[in-house]
Amino acid sequence: ALLPGAGGVWPATLEWASALEREGRLRAQLRVLGQVADQAKILDVRREVYPLPPGLLDPRAQEDLDFALKRAEEGGKALRGLAYRLAREVLGEKDARELEAFTRSLPLERFYWHALDRAFPGFLEQAGQKGAREAWKEALEKAVMESWRATRVFVGTQGRYLRALARGEGVLAGILQEVRA
């Protein structure tokens, strides 16, 4: 709901908030609601409140926010793919449900999103300023590495696990290259 729609037009809610800010009547909080769903099943509902930096309603800050959210989603999708590949390497050609269950059990995505949750308020403060995107890319890289380290510990040290992790390192290198770009 915070991203521009078709034609690059920002949502009316942000336009309205911008008008309120110009009038000096804006309450300085940003509430973000969301849900995580798998097909028709809702897995999690989130409500977060962030302080709303005055500069966030500036077009450059909105572009930075769009950049950050897209990059975070791309990173999450790439890690989801890595987790599935690890599951296939560890379990072999198993039933799809079993592979999916193992994939979800890995800490890769959970640690990634948790690390980004911690970094996001700082990014909001920097959005629209020089260096905001670079700082976000650093936060993404750190989140990817934290989640990978946790996954290495979780998977274990048996031969097939180490082989799976070694193959995963190649995929991880590609993910890190994309994050840094």
Domains in the chain, CATH or no CATH each: 54-180 (1.10.132.100)
Single-letter residue type at 93:
E
Query: Which pTM value belongs to this model?
Result: 0.75
Supply the pLDDT for residue 57.
75
Buried b vs exposed e over 43-73: b needs ≥16 C-beta within 10 Å?
A: eeeeeeeeebbebbbbeebbbbbbebeebbe
Supply the pLDDT for residue 45.
81
Supply the pLDDT for residue 4.
57
> Is residue 127 within 8 Å of residue 170, measured between CB atoms?
no
**Averaged pLDDT, groups of 10, the chain, 181 residues long:** 62 74 66 74 78 76 92 95 90 86 90 94 90 96 95 86 90 92 89
